[in-house]
Every structure is written in structure tokens, then in C-alpha cells.
Amino acid sequence: MSEKNFFHHGNLKNEIIKQGLKIINDRGFQEVELKEIAKLCNVSSPSIYRHFKGKNDLMGALLVKVSYDFYCFLNAESKQSIANPEEKLTQMGVRFLLYSQNYRYYFEFLFYSEFERHVELDSSVHIDNFDEQNSFNLFKKSVIQYLNYYGVTNNYNKHIINLWSYISGLAVVAEGINSNNKNKILEAYIQDMIKIYTLSLKS
């Protein structure tokens, strides 16, 4: 069976992405090679270039998929009936850390690769990024709800960046925590941090 017949209507492109994601999840983004993916897909290497201009183009497509996966993981807490914005933000922070621990290679690809998406600040009080289904925008929305709950209605940027930086930094430190109760320890860190931040807003 020819490549054209076996992979009909974009199936090859989907298979390329599927194999690329598997490599990242298993071994890290540094291990992604077009020749290996072609072999895993049982096609010739030139077949990859019918769907992607090159490795960077493929990595960009993979980043979109992983970014959406992270977004869905963070957004899972929104399906719970959490009315208090502080508790909602805390749970989102906990899920942020859980993702960094449970999907370490995906997390590295998102935050520590040359393909990462950079947060862009404009001159207004808002923070803009790539699309609605984006983890940073989701986090931003949760932080703004939290700030409004405590009477902060402007100058959002510094608070959003402070909280995002703290949690993403804690994700790195969390690698060194060796305990059977690691998840509970991380949750306690987030809870304490949010409580301290809340006190600073009230003062």
C-alpha cells in the first residue's frame, strides 16, 4: 500500500504530530528528529516535508498541541463549583504544579525550550497573548477575578506577573522535593503563598 493511500486526507500529518508528542512525553523535546518520526510513521523522510516546512515548523505545531493540553489541565478546576476566587486561584496553582511534575517533559517544552511562547505586555492594564485557549490567559482571568474580589480594579499586570513567576519558579524547585506527600506539600506551598499575597492586598 502506498503512502498516499495509507495516509488519506491528512492522516499522515496527524500521525506525525502524534509520534512527535510521544517522543516529547517519553524522552523530551530535544529528542525529536524528523528521520525517527518518518520511520515510526513507516514513510520516507521527504514525506514529512509535504506537511511541514522543516523541524521548526513541526515543533511549532507540537507546541500548540502541548499548550492546549496544559490549558485543558489547568481549566479542569473550572468545572468544579468553586465560588471563592482565592480558592479557585489556589487550585489552579496546585494544578500548575501537578502538571509540571506529572508531565515533566511537556512542561520543559512549554517553558524552557527555544520554541516556548513568550508573554507579551502591551501599554494598557491588560496582558495579551496568542489565543483564548491559552494557559496564561486562563491564569490571568483567574488572577483578575481574585484581585477584584479584594477590591483591586487596576494595575493588574504586576500582580499577574508576580503570581505567575512564583508558581512557575516553584515548579522548578519542586523537582528537588523527595517525599511521598509531595503533592500535599506543594498544595500547602501554594495555599500559604496565596494567603500571604492576600494579606498584602488587604494591608
* Domain match, 46 and 139 both: no
* Domain match, 46 and 112 both: no
The residue with cell 494557559 is 135
Model confidence at 125: pLDDT above 50: no
**pLDDT value for 177:** 82
pLDDT digits (tens, 9 = 90+) for 126-171: 444 445 678 888 999 999 999 999 999 988 999 999 999 999 988 8
Q: Give the domain CATH number at 21.
A: 1.10.10.60
Asked, for residue 25, whether it belongs to a domain, the answer is yes
* Domain total in the chain: 2
pLDDT digits (tens, 9 = 90+) for 79-102: 667 789 999 999 999 899 999 989
Please, which pLDDT band fits residue 196 given cuts at 50, 70 and 90?
very high
Q: What is the DSSP string of 164-194?
A: HHHHHHHHHHGGG---TTHHHHHHHHHHHHH
pLDDT digits (tens, 9 = 90+) for 13-29: 999 999 999 999 999 99
SS3 59: helix
* Domain match, 130 and 47 both: no
Q: Which domain holds residue 42?
A: 3-52
Asked, for residue 57, whether it belongs to a domain, the answer is no
Asked, for residue 58, whether it belongs to a domain, the answer is no
Asked, for residue 24, whether it belongs to a domain, the answer is yes
* Domain match, 113 and 38 both: no
| Rounded (10°) angle between helices 182-202 and 156-173 | 160
* Domain match, 76 and 176 both: yes
* Domain match, 73 and 153 both: yes
Asked, for residue 61, whether it belongs to a domain, the answer is no
Whether residue 146 contacts residue 89, with contact meaning beta carbons closer than 8 Å, is answered with yes
Percent of the chain residues past pLDDT 70, beyond the cut:
85
Asked, for residue 181, whether it belongs to a domain, the answer is yes
Please, which pLDDT band fits residue 179 given cuts at 50, 70 and 90?
confident
Sorted by sequence, the CB contacts under 8 Å of residue 137 that are 6+ apart come out as: 127, 129, 131
* Domain match, 94 and 143 both: yes
* Domain match, 45 and 97 both: no
Whether residue 159 contacts residue 143, with contact meaning beta carbons closer than 8 Å, is answered with yes
SS3 138: helix
The region of weakest confidence among 12-16, 181-185, 193-197 is: 181-185
* Domain match, 140 and 173 both: yes
Asked, for residue 60, whether it belongs to a domain, the answer is no
**pLDDT value for 133:** 74
Asked, for residue 131, whether it belongs to a domain, the answer is yes
The residue with cell 514513510 is 43
* Domain match, 45 and 72 both: no
* Domain match, 99 and 189 both: yes
**pLDDT value for 1:** 46
Model confidence at 34: pLDDT above 90: yes
Q: What is the DSSP string of 68-136?
A: HHHHHHHHGGGGS----HHHHHHHHHHHHHHHHHHTHHHHHHHHSSTTPPPPEE-SSSSEE-S-SS-HH
At 168, list the grid cell: 512557575
The candidate with the shortest Cα–Cα distance to 109, out of 175, 24, 19, 171, is 24
* Domain match, 29 and 126 both: no
